[in-house]
Structure 1
Amino acid sequence: MSGHWSIGVCALALLLLSSLSPASAAAVHHQNAPSAHTVNGTYTGLSLESFNQEAFYGIPFAIPPLGDLRLRYPVPYNQSWRGSRNATVRSDSCPGFDKPFAQGFADGLTMSENCLTLDIVRPANVKPGDNLPVFFWIYGGGFKAGGSADPRYNTSFMVRNSMEMKKPIIAVVPNYRTGAFGLLASKEVAAAGVGNIALFDQRLAMEWVSENIRAFGGDPTKVTIAGESAGGSSAGYHLVAFGGKNNGLFRSAILESSSLLGATSESWWYDNITTTVGCNTAADSLACLRTVPYLKFFNAINGFQFKPYIDGRFVTQPPSISIAKGQIADVALIMGSNTDEGTAEFFTPRGTLNNDSDIASLVAHLANGLSDEIVSNVLRLYPDDPIQGCPFGTGPERFADQGVQYKRGAAITGDLNIHAGRRAYAVSHSQRSKHPIYTYRFDQAPWDMKEVDVTTTAPVFVTHYSEIVHVFDNPDKNVNWIGPYPILSELANYVSRSWVSFIHDQTPNNHGLQNKPVWPRYDASKPQNIVFRAGASWIEKDDWRKEQLAYWSTIWSEVMT
């Protein structure tokens, strides 16, 4: 399930943070600058001397989707040249949105439609033939916003960990179109056969990596696709895409705070948009939308939510059916969630859940609407008992200023959107696949109990997105700062190294750290998670809220998954 968020600081401040992140501040361009010879031609990159790394920014994998290419599938980049092209500056990010929602990963990003590029970071002096494993990160942002230039996804720290571990990897972060630019749905879109453009953007970037990553010293047979929230859901869609045929584009996947299973639905805003921009009377309204000036189109689609949907080509059926039929890429996986996912403001409304009727209404309006019988069952499984509510482990405290039954609602939404699907798929994968799946529960709250772009109003606890700064082991003081305490930095180093180990070796246990629990392969007959917490990570039996999570698995069709 996707999430939506916003950075919540002024755009100028974040722009400066982005431009002055260590990977950028350390950049040196000189006559010994690194180069790579791709299918199209040669690129010259940057030396990141403080990291002993090299970067190539803004490499196009598709023809810019401008003019008549707007609202079409990406077209492979087909230019060739002699000499060397500059790859030292990040491209614009794809158009993204903040208001009227209080969240948005567009803050501080320079945006335009000319955005279908990717960024690469590698250890210094890597050469073709070194065959390094590849980390392919798909950013989240609720399918509303995001970009490879977001400083929170600075891959240099993870790559540095891999170098220190003597398990070097290459990191790739592509841009893809969000909002209506990437996920517009309507009968006109269906007739034109251009649904789920965002997912095709991501797929074409994977194909570019398959064709070109050897030039950068990477191994196209050792790619791990990964993402969080909308990015993790995207990785999940790539598992079931085209009947589960991944064409060797990746050998493993990491799905953070997302799942193949959870509440999804199509968003049909096409008529609203065409009316706003004056295309509703055109003989071909979709063609008309391609002629609308960028800012006029951008403003017309702001405020609407768009998500991937069944388009008949990329996604041919609900993922729950793909899983049941075994029509899913059989690859190694890491999959997990954060303890208190439901406290994210986009999952659970604040200040409106005060009685049983409010909760019943919340449940009834999940997905495309749920029956009275399902509503009754959910209310029974999730009683008005704050001790059982989310944030979990907070006892009888109700956080009543957010709603007397807020914790009850947060437990429901977190389970439906994230936890239930994670467990259901872990069980399924472990029973059918020869490849391992490792699952986790992240249990470390932000140092200041604030997760900018998710929620900064109590209760926060271990909410959505809390693990990101640990995965990237990013000490920068951006809006997702890890905090001043060494114990948190130690956890980040542990989590990030576990991810690197999985990317490199297909097991998270070769992290090279002492006195850490052995993370077991998930086994449905003895289901176990690792729990990540500062100073005290451990292995637990995966049976929390067993009856509640199992119930959602009986009604996947009703929640449109």
Structure 2
Amino acid sequence: MPAPNRILAKPTTSPPHNPQVEIKNGTLRGLYLPAFHEDLFLGVPFASPPIGDLRLRHPAPYDEHWQQVRDATRRSPSCPGYAGFDVGLVLGEDCLTVDIVRPAGTSHKDRLPVLVWIYGGGFDAGGSADPRYNTSYLVNASVAIHKPIIVVSINYRVGGWGFLGSKEMAAAGALNIGLFDQRLALQWIQENIAAFGGNREKVTISGESAGAFSVGYHLTAFDGKHNGLFRAAILQSGTALGPGINSIAQLNTTYQPVYDNVTETVGCGNASDTLGCLRTVPYSKLFAAFEPFVMTPILDGEFLTRLPSASFSAGLVANVAVLAGSNTDEGTATFFGPRNSLNTDADVHALLAGMGNGLDNATVSEAMALYPDDPALGCPFGTGSERFARNGYMYKRGAAVIGDEVIHAGRRRTTQYYSSTSPSCRKPVYSYRFDQPPWNGIEELVATEAPVYSTHYAEICFVFNISPSISANNTNWIGPYQSYHDLSTLISRSWISFVHDLDPNNHGVPHAPLWPEYSKSHKNIVFAVGNTMVEPDTWRTEQLEFWMRNFARLKT
């Protein structure tokens, strides 16, 4: 195993202990981390605790002013979540906080660029305290390459706590709670980050999977009016284009039965005000009632006023710099790829016909031709005639369909859109394809049984570049080989360079290929151990164009 890959910043003055910052609510006392020479401010509230009568409502700004110095040396509970990503996290409703990591001794005069991390987890799980997202290594690397940044991780409500939908929720103006949590956190950053030494005009929002879907929704939210909340966006394995989004008109056939099930389960079914009743249910009881259900954002007419594809077509999208990419074999993720369900042409036909609002026979036939029963063309790609038939005789065919429709097509449409805007106002655009399987062929919680390959989430450990001395036991281990750590160094520093300069090439890694700006070349950088290169963005052209033509039918 290689030595820990951190490069420690050397203090230029006596190490500061118990750093303090004055924000609008009062004074915060943070934590000095000597191993990295960093200041941490943890569990800082950006919203009033969403408990009691504030449960199942949009977040309210945190307006309390504390007279004494407030301790900010411990993370808050993570928002209630499920799906295995909650393991090891302390959960609780009073969770609307941010965690801030900066180089030690940063002052308000430094005005450092800011990276905001929005975790994924299918809108059903996640938390800033998840050790897979330890941002100290990114801040440490930023100092090492003389491009210091501040990283802010935000918590937001997930599952039924953040995305419960029903006619009652719609009437109360309480849809898309989790997205409004994120938005309020971004507003809090604008109001307070200068006190920590950050530059509110140089904020980059970033996320992976549902975190990237969230970033995409912020690009299209409020008809693209982002009010200067961010100048750039990083989207890893997700955009606003791909996940289907239901509308309020579709509640009766989507989330209303879930709401009715929950209210009955907790004893609120006969209440005159079922939503008000839910706000009085004991936490543990409501937690259990929400657990069987996965809920995601909907078209609420406020945050999301139209399908994202319609926003892109109308040009109602935030004008910011973009770095976006996807992993070659996205569709092998257990929760994406249709394992054990596709054995015949009829099975594949049914899968396609049931997508979105339903695809007609002509459209399905076109898709069937683009995804023939030829395992050499299926996902995981480049694996020849092997079918991995224990997952279904036509598993690879379905995995290719799902990966292209949910992830790859949206990435291409997003980068094409941003690169086609007027040169007079166009911001930098960068695109990547991550083409590296996990070192041991397993991606915990995502794809633990073959086939895995360059699956969903596989790039996360390379981005966060966490030392092997602590990462081996938290499922974000890069692996024992130096070549893998070299790739991680390149990727993490490229992300830092983009946050700092809006150009990922200023990473200081020798012999790395130049990552071309997409509007000038329509090329991707392809990340792989020992073989990072640049390619024309023509991979799977016909298939991705098919999905882009049908975005509206797919409710995206």
TM > 0.5 fold call: yes
Q: Which runs of 5+ in 1 are unaligned?
A: 1-21, 23-29, 99-103
One-letter amino acid matched to 1:352: S
Residue 189 (structure 2) aligns with? 209
Distance 1:217 1:526, change over 3 A: closer
The number of residues matched between the two structures is: 527
User: What amino acid is the match of 1:45?
Assistant: G
Q: Is the 8 Å Cα contact of residues 245 and 299 (structure 2) preserved in structure 1?
A: no
Residue 527 (structure 2) pairs with residue 542 (structure 1): no
Q: Is this contact kept in 1: 2:17–2:31, CA < 8 A? A: no
Please state how far the C-alpha of 1:425 moved relative to its aligned partner.
1.6
Query: What per-residue deviation string (whole Å, max 9, x for no partner) do you get for residues 209-250 of structure 1?
Result: 100011111011100000000000101101111111111110
Query: C-alpha separation between the residues in 1 aligned to 2:421 and 2:122?
Result: 31
Does structure 1 residue 350 correspond to structure 2 residue 350? no
Q: Is the 8 A contact 1:263 1:366 kept in 2?
A: no
Structure 2 alignment gaps of length 5 or more: 1-5, 7-14, 247-253
Question: 1:146-295 alignment to 2 at 5 Å?
Answer: 146-266=126-246, 267-268=254-255, 269-295=258-284
What percentage of aligned pairs have identical amino acids?
55
In 1: Cα distance, 2:374 partner to 2:16 partner? 67
Asked whether the equivalents of residues 335 and 439 of structure 1 are also in contact (C-alpha less than 8 Å), the reply is yes
Check whether the contact 1:134–1:171 (CA below 8 A) recurs between aligned residues.
yes
Distance (Å, rounded) in 1 between the aligned partners of 2:225 and 2:308: 14
2:37 pairs with 1:70: no
**Counterpart amino acid of 1:459?**
P
> Residues 109-508 of structure 1 correspond to what in structure 2 (within 5 A)?
109-266=89-246, 267-268=254-255, 269-432=258-421, 434-475=426-467, 476-477=471-472, 478-508=474-504
Alpha-carbon distance in 1 for matches of 2:134, 2:17: 24
Amino acid at match of 1:235: V
Task: Give the AA of the match of 2:540.
Answer: R
1:31 to partner: Cα distance: 8.6
Q: Indicate if the aligned counterparts of 2:30 and 2:39 stay in contact, CA closer than 8 A.
A: yes
Report the AA paired with residue 45 of structure 2: P
Residues 368-401 of structure 1 deviation map (CA, whole Å, 9 limit, x = unaligned): 4332222222111100011110000111111111
Q: Does 1:518 align with 2:507?
A: no
Aligned equivalents of 1:294, 1:389: Cα separation in 2? 45
Task: Please tell me whether the aligned partners of residues 16 and 32 of structure 2 are also in contact (alpha carbons under 8 angstroms).
Answer: no
Name the CA distance, whole Å, in 1 between partners of 2:287 and 2:367: 39
Paired residue secondary structure (2:514): coil
Which residue in the other structure is 1:14 paired with?
Answer: none
1:529 matches 2:521:
no
Q: Normalising by structure 2, what TM-score?
A: 0.93
TM-score normalised per structure 1: 0.92
Q: Which runs of 4+ in 1 moved over 6 A?
A: none
Classify the secondary structure of the residue corresponding to 1:59.
strand
> Partners in 2 of 1:82 and 1:274 — Cα distance?
41
Q: Which amino acid aligns with 2:81?
A: G
RMSD of aligned residue pairs (Cα, Å): 1.3
1:552 to 529, 540, 547: 547
Residue number in structure 1 paired with 2:81: 96
Q: Secondary structure at the match of 1:380?
A: helix
Whole-angstrom distance in 2 between the partners of 1:57 and 1:404? 49
